Amino acid sequence: MTQAAKDAAKFLKSTLRLPSSTFPPRPRPADIAKYLPRCTDDLYAWQRHERPAANTFVLHDGPPYANGDLHVGHALNKIIKDIICRSRLAEGKRIDYVPGWDCHGLPIELKALEHHGWERGRGVDPVAIRKAARKFAYKAVDKQMAGFRSWGVMGDWKSHWLTMQKDFELRQLSVFQAMAEHGLIYRKHKPVYWSPSSGTALAEAELEYQDDHVSNAALVKLKLDDSDGIHALIWTTTPWTLPANQAIAINSNLQYCVALSRTHGPLVVAQSRLDYIEETIGEQLIVVMEEFPMSELLSTTYSGLAQFGSEAAHRPIIHADFVSAESGTGLVHCAPGHGMEDYDALQPLIKKGIVSVKAPVDNLGRFDDTTASPGDPSLLSGKYVFEEGNQTVLDLLKSEDLLVHQHTYKHKYPIDWRTKEPVIIRATAQWFADISKIRADTLGALDAVHFLPDSGKSRLRSFIENRSEWCISRQRAWGVPIPALYHGTTGEEVLSSESITHITSVIKERGIDAWWSDAPDDPAWVVPGLSSAPSEYVRGTDTMDVWFDSGTSWTYILSDKDSSQPQSTPLADIYVEGTDQHRGWFQSSLLTNVAYQKSLHPSATSTYAPFRTLATHGFTLDAQGKKMSKSLGNVIAPSQIIAGIEPATKPSPSAMAPAKKKQKRDNHLLGPDALRMWVAGSEWTKDVVISEKVVSSVHNALDKYRLTFKMLLGMLADFDPQAAVPYSKMARLDQIAMHHLHCTCMAVRKAYNDLEFHKAAGGIYRWVAMDLSSFYFEAIKDTIYCDKPSSERRLSAQTALHNIFCQLQEMLGPIAPLLIEETWEYTPERYKIGLEPPLKRIWKELPESWYDRQLEELLPTIMAINSSVKSAQEAARTSKLMGQSLASDVTIYLQRDVDVSSIPEETWVEILVVSNVHVLGYGEERMNLHGLNMQSGREWSRATEIVSAAGQKVGLAVVQSPQREKCARCWKYVVEHAGAKERSTSSDLDELALCGRCTDAVAEFQR
């Protein structure tokens, strides 16, 4: 080629309309800081002003705990909520999302104590604790809020609520008062779950269960009174509760006998448990009384160790249904101060004063100084019941020859879900909410709730069905006080509508800290009209369960509604939290809201849950399915996902023979959209895995989207949307693209509506990777690059690209808002005319014409032909017969019953990216596939069978050497040989063969 020809080729290249866009391949940190407020704070404020209040969607925030750094679990939760809000915004809703924080409770109190070097339970001033806890919580809230906002979560951050705010606390007290007035609040001395590690009572919702807890179990004999050395044999896994023993329970449906042990004497046991007892103690028992008369047994008394006080003598034997023949000896030791079943079974005797509710254990789980062993307090005083206290009891029993056998026993046992330490059951005076009175209304309210997943309904219902009361008092300084007064001498509580109203008014005036800081005898807190002088009363020190705090957060939504009318709908459209909240916030919100409705309007025929939809997400796990923890070293921080995790490098197999270097994934900052795409791509109603592999795929997808937008912006750079071509005049290839787009959009919108974001994310990515990048973009490159700007074919393609660009923005908007805001920034100003910013758009109904049923049926055949042609081309490349796909012509032979007549041959040329295509039919005769694979000089062909999706052979695809000459501009082999020879003697430009289309395009360019 002469220099003149080279210059001509360079000129020809300059006439091509190659995509050009300044859209960057990576987001710059400065740009992220610029786009973030636009697509969060500014967008939220805009929609609150522009969208009608009558069409509001309310997502009520389940408050995170204001304690510690953010982790991927926080990211999963907040981003799920944000994608929900953004998708509903795209549907035309006005969004109401006000973030909140749970600020009271033990973990924050412990942090405050730790920070100042104070020891819990050692007389620390509660006012000082509250001041330190409040300061810690405010710092945690500020830090967490900054993190949430950096993830692109939009909401009313300025109006965020805290459970420690005065207005919140007053609303909480109003709910408590309404429940008290309705008779749902009461105080009782009874056994409750108690956490020695936390030093407070716990509700059932605050328990977890350890499956492999090990107890020191024992077989203990207790002597029957007025008998000739006969003992009742009991089995217990908590020997430390024996100082509180008040009775033995048997089941009158079982048969009891007296069995003689050569070591331990005559023992009363259930006959069905003899084998177990013999195996356990290692000796054969001789039955000396086949059946102990039931009436006689139930009228017998027994005595325990004298060291446990006078209350251990002459104890009754009672019937109880819970006694089983499946374990133990058939006799159960009862300590109503340490057992809920014991307490219930002994109620008649407790009311008569025959037995007492004794619980000689202090707040820290140690035996007390007086009642555990009254005769000699030093025996047990101060000893921790799970350790030396338990062992001392066993030693006492052994010294009195009452310990028949001791052994370790592995079983399921409740633990404090915060400290992970075992709890005890301990009788104390606590405040309770009566759930039994509102259970039916609560369960009825759930019938109208939509659950995601469906299993959440049975889970929440089971918690409500199996709960009769809720222990709402806690022994903490940092919280909302239970507004009760106590008589200093009698201990009688004062909790009435008048007293709560009075106390609330003082809190309004002085602030809630004054409950602790005011002088104990300050009369201002005492409601006038009590039977004793104000100086006789003291304020209580119990605070409310933090679940009562956060459970009343629905009052924030209720604050602008008329409480004089019964609640007629759920207050929020959706609650979304982790699956553990069925026993926590979901339950406390439901119970307090239903209780409030019944308290204000007891005659109302219907009650409603505070949520219309209840959705739960799983936990975050590592690649091996393990929970993330610092001790395991498998924690992945949200910041790592945003920045990209460096892949682990493997050492080479041998120093002598180093392994081939594998190209490393380029790690680069992609901004919060990377974190959001991980969330969106996860099936979040189940446990969610996060690993380097997952992060890598997220980054690859986000890179793919950036490249796709860069291509779209480049190909649309010279397009005016006003010049869009009507669908009916679009080329068939572009109609195929519109059909793909329609199907994708509809599937993605449905997935968003169903909260199945993984289906939306997966659908978008498959469409971009397969239908766009691998199919449509490849097919239209020739048209976009080589056609003149005014050509109808190019305008048709750009019309399709315009629709694709806009719809891709709208589909990705809820997931990757920063990317979409950035694409808008780089959209030409003239292009924006008539278009709304993508994040503010409402998803409009797609044109019905885009969905083509005929194409839907034909597409599998089109894809089968495309695949066969690619296979034949690859065979030709392997034989070094061709390079680019344009250097081939194609003939498609189809059986006559395969109708592709609606696809013009010029469309097949575009789809297959070749120079020429012929589509021919053939009958039943089989074509000679071998004969179609040939090579003779410059002539060659390769053929493959066309196989349908159902596996049927429907034709042949023959790829062959091009029959014309290559165009120097578009590189298609479409130039007639004769024309080329004629032009070769003309000007320098005409030395290079051009097709008619390129000749016209160059002429227009030169004008």
Beta-sheet strands, E only, within 436-583: 450-452, 469-471, 473-474, 485-487, 493-494, 537-539, 543-544, 572-578
Phi then psi dihedrals of residue 94, to 5 deg: -100, 130
Is there a contact between 761 and 677 (Cβ–Cβ < 8 Å)? yes
User: pLDDT by residue (tens digit) across 932-985?
Assistant: 888 888 899 999 999 998 899 999 999 999 999 999 999 999 998 754 444 433
Which element (helix H / strand E) includes 447? none
Tokens of 133: 């806890």
**Cα 259 to Cα 822: distance, rounded to the nearest angstrom:** 85
Is there a contact between 648 and 712 (Cβ–Cβ < 8 Å)? no
**Cα 478 to Cα 554: distance, rounded to the nearest angstrom:** 22
Which element (helix H / strand E) includes 818? helix 817-825
Quote the pTM value: 0.88
**Cα 729 to Cα 614: distance, rounded to the nearest angstrom:** 48
**Cα 248 to Cα 304: distance, rounded to the nearest angstrom:** 11
- 3-state percent breakdown (helix, strand, coil) of the chain, nearest 5: 45, 20, 40
415, 547, 580: which is closest to 105 by C-alpha? 547
**Cα 185 to Cα 781: distance, rounded to the nearest angstrom:** 74
DSSP 366: B
Q: At what angle do helices 692-715 and 792-812 cross, to 10 degrees?
A: 140
pLDDT at site 656: 42
| Residue 648, Cβ density class (10 Å: 0-12 exposed, 13-18 middle, ≥19 buried) | exposed
**Cα 390 to Cα 367: distance, rounded to the nearest angstrom:** 10
Which residue numbers in the chain have pLDDT < 70?
1, 120-122, 559-563, 630-631, 645-667, 923-929, 978-991
Strand pairing class (286-289; 247-250): unpaired
DSSP 536: G
User: Beta-carbon neighbour count of residue 887 at 10 Å?
Assistant: 19
What residue ranges define each of the domains in the chain, with the CATH number in brackets? 200-426 (3.90.740.10), 671-833 (1.10.730.20), 855-963 (3.30.2320.20)
**Cα 76 to Cα 67: distance, rounded to the nearest angstrom:** 17
Is there a contact between 186 and 176 (Cβ–Cβ < 8 Å)? no
Beta bridge partners of 258: 268, 289
User: pLDDT by residue (tens digit) across 437-462?
Assistant: 999 999 999 999 999 999 999 999 99
pLDDT at site 980: 44
- SS3 of 39, please? helix
Q: Return the exposure string of 306-339: e unless at least 16 CB atoms fall within 10 Å of the residue's CB, then b.
A: ebbbebbeebbbbebeebebeebbbbbbbbbbbb
| Residue 299, Cβ density class (10 Å: 0-12 exposed, 13-18 middle, ≥19 buried) | exposed
pLDDT at site 987: 53
Tokens of 544: 């409310």
Q: How many CA atoms lie within 13 A of 481 on its CB side?
A: 24
477, 473, 596, 496: which is closest to 544 by C-alpha? 473
354, 343, 219: which is closest to 273 by C-alpha? 219
Q: Residue 723 contacts by C-beta under 8 Å, 6 or more apart in sequence?
A: 795
Phi then psi dihedrals of residue 915, to 5 deg: -90, -35
